[in-house]
Amino acid sequence: MNAEELDPNNVTHDEIEAIVGSVGTGKSSLLSAFLGEMDKVSGRVNTVGRIAYVSQQAWIQNATLRDNILFGKKFEKTLYQKVIEACALKADLDMLPGGDQTEIGEKGINLSGGQKQRVSLARAVYSNADIYFLDDPLSAVDSHVGKHIFDQVIGPKGMLKDKTTLLVTHGITYLPQTDNIFVLKNGEVTSKMKL
């Protein structure tokens, strides 16, 4: 995989970088390489700061919904409420019998795919990391929910506006609001477009 064009000299701390390409071109693999989860043939990966990662397959603990979001961090009510609202989870909490104290079953069995993805995203946002790797987090949600989340969380006015964000996406409607678009083909960055 050639990630030469996608290096720290091309990505600044307050930009949204979109990574696009057809299925199987290596978008998720590129994020895995940045996370150190793939063997590198050559080169190196340098990151500065704490990383939050939201995978395509949401990871849920067998714990309360709140514990899934806090993930061991101290509960800060104002930040928590803001994250819940931004990640479009408020209506879900109102429907759950115990609100955010509802026990989430094994692998999130009592949540829909979209709910699991939003909880996973909320966990990442609540962590207040420096770098965000988001692997197509809006694919499991409805378009109007996706727009809300992009505007409130990922987009240029969202909660991550001052963070480094690498967004793998198939949602072309979001591309005009990103700073750069990296196009992958056959495991290589074939072009970079600055908007």
- Residue ranges of domains in the chain: 16-194
Q: At residue 95, what is the residue type?
A: M
Specify the pLDDT at position 77: 96
d(CA 152, CA 86): 5
* Domain 16-194 CATH superfamily: P-loop containing nucleotide triphosphate hydrolases (3.40.50.300)
Strands 16-20 and 180-185 turn out to be: parallel
Residue pointed to by tokens 């378009």: 143
Confidence of residue 54 (pLDDT cuts 50, 70, 90): very high
d(CA 58, CA 48): 25
Alpha helix (H) ranges present in 73-126?
77-86, 90-95, 113-126
pLDDT in tens, 25-34: 888 888 888 8
The count of C-alpha atoms lying within 13 angstroms of the C-alpha of 97, restricted to the half-sphere facing its C-beta, is 4
Averaged pLDDT score across all residues of the chain: 87
Residue pointed to by tokens 């994250």: 83
Specify the pLDDT at position 2: 43
Confidence of residue 48 (pLDDT cuts 50, 70, 90): confident
Is the pLDDT at 124 greater than 90, yes or no? yes
Cβ atoms within 10 Å, residue 80: 17
Is the pLDDT at 9 greater than 50, yes or no? no
Q: Which neighbouring-strand residues pair with 64?
A: 103
The count of C-alpha atoms lying within 13 angstroms of the C-alpha of 61, restricted to the half-sphere facing its C-beta, is 11
Is the pLDDT at 69 greater than 50, yes or no? yes
CB 164 within 8 A of CB 11: yes
Specify the pLDDT at position 190: 82
Per DSSP, the chain holds a count of helices (H) and strands (E) of 6, 6
Specify the pLDDT at position 3: 44
CB 169 within 8 A of CB 19: yes
CB 178 within 8 A of CB 16: yes
Residues 6+ apart with CB under 8 A from 114: 140, 141, 142, 145
Confidence of residue 145 (pLDDT cuts 50, 70, 90): very high
pLDDT in tens, 76-98: 999 999 999 999 999 998 988 88
Is the pLDDT at 151 greater than 60, yes or no? yes
Question: How many residues make up the chain in this entry?
Answer: 195
Specify the pLDDT at position 11: 64
